[in-house]
Amino acid sequence: MNIAQVFTQTLKQSGKKLVVLLPFSWLLVFFLIPFLIVLQISFSESRIAQPPFTDLTSFVDDVYTISLNLFNYIDLYEYDLYLSGYISSVKIAFTATTLCLLIGYPIAYAIAKLPPHTRNLALMLVILPSWTSFLIRIYAWIGILKQNGLINNALMGLGVIEQPLEILHTPIAVYIGIVYAYLPFMVLPIYTNLVKHDSSLLEAAADLGARPIGSFFKITLPLSVSGIVAGSMLVFIPSVGEFVIPELLGGPDTLMIGKLLWSEFFNARNWPGASAVAVVMLLLLILPITIFQRYQAKDLEEQANEH
């Protein structure tokens, strides 16, 4: 038995239990169990009381009954608002993710091509804006996009347009907001992937007569799929449930499910209804989240094997 084995053995015996148990139980109580409660409350009825929902279980005359009511889900199906809210959220998130990929990939590629010394500086410059407030960066776009905002003033001053363009309070403003806020999350995983590529592959392709464009599509792009998937999921999943961006930049007709959940909870004070909205949103996101986790796990394994 070598030292490392002895070390892990002792670790296993004494520290391991606590090391695993503490974070595990914290996440169990404050991350996993809350979802079960959301599921439970989505089957209850809204009422005007504290708390504003009914109990599912009752104990009357020695009979223990559990009543699940599906009205919250039937409501979701029957009101067009919710159905179209889900569809348009997915559409908006998908379009914004595609735009983010089209802008983020070239940036990640250009950074990976830089000499190693400047690479870290460029990467830091990409991340730095996300360390300032998200809310304030979205707010910045209101002044730029609104009717008498900077873009309209500039374009009208130059005589390009006569009427101000309507950008704020349209889906275009929401796209701009999502791309702006989430761009670093696209660039980072793609860069991490690209920078690991073995440049001798490209040299070999060039020796064999491939043109740079050809070897990009045949070698670099296929090798960077895992970075693309990770980045796209990091943008797509939170975008579907985004609240701040559609609230501040979108208009009344920019339906997004995060906004609907918010108003169901804070304005209508319908907690069971909001819970049902959340459960359906989560069901919608289970597939993307699983894909993200699978790639994340694969990536972690690769890292572990390298060392």
Partner 1 sequence: MSTNKTNKLSWAILLGGFAFLYLPIFILIVYSFNESRLVTVWAGFSTKWYGELFEDEQMMSAVWMSLKIAFLSASAAVALGTLAAIALVRSGAFKGKTLFTGMITAPLVMPEVITGLSLLLLFVTMSQVLGWPEGRGSLTIWIAHTTFNMAYVAVVVSARLRELDRRLEEAAMDLGANKFQVFIYITLPIVAPALLAGWLLAFTLSLDDLVIASFVSGPGSTTLPMVVFSSVRLGVSPKINALATLLVLAVAMAAFIAWWFMRRNELQRQKEIRSAFSQ
Q: Decide whether 61 or 88 has the Cβ nearer to partner 1.
A: 88
Q: Decide whether 61 or 148 has the Cβ nearer to partner 1.
A: 148
Q: How far apart are CA 119 and CA 90, in angstroms?
A: 34
Q: Among 48, 42, 34, 38, which Cα is nearest to 73's?
A: 42
- Compute CA 58 distance to the chain's CA centroid, rounded to the nearest angstrom: 39
Q: Decide whether 67 or 298 has the Cβ nearer to partner 1.
A: 298
State the residue for tokens 């503490």: 22
CB of 223 to partner 1, least distance (A): 18
CB of 152 to partner 1, least distance (A): 9
CB of 66 to partner 1, least distance (A): 16
In the chain, the amino acid numbered 21 is L
Q: How far apart are CA 133 and CA 236, in angstroms?
A: 20
CB of 82 to partner 1, least distance (A): 14
Query: Helix axis angle, 271-306 relative to 71-78, nearest 10°?
Result: 90
CB of 8 to partner 1, least distance (A): 7
Q: Are 105 and 217 in contact (CB under 8 A)?
A: no
Q: Decide whether 64 or 211 has the Cβ nearer to partner 1.
A: 211
Q: Decide whether 16 or 218 has the Cβ nearer to partner 1.
A: 16
83-to-24, 44, 71, 89 alpha-carbon distances in Å = 36, 21, 15, 10
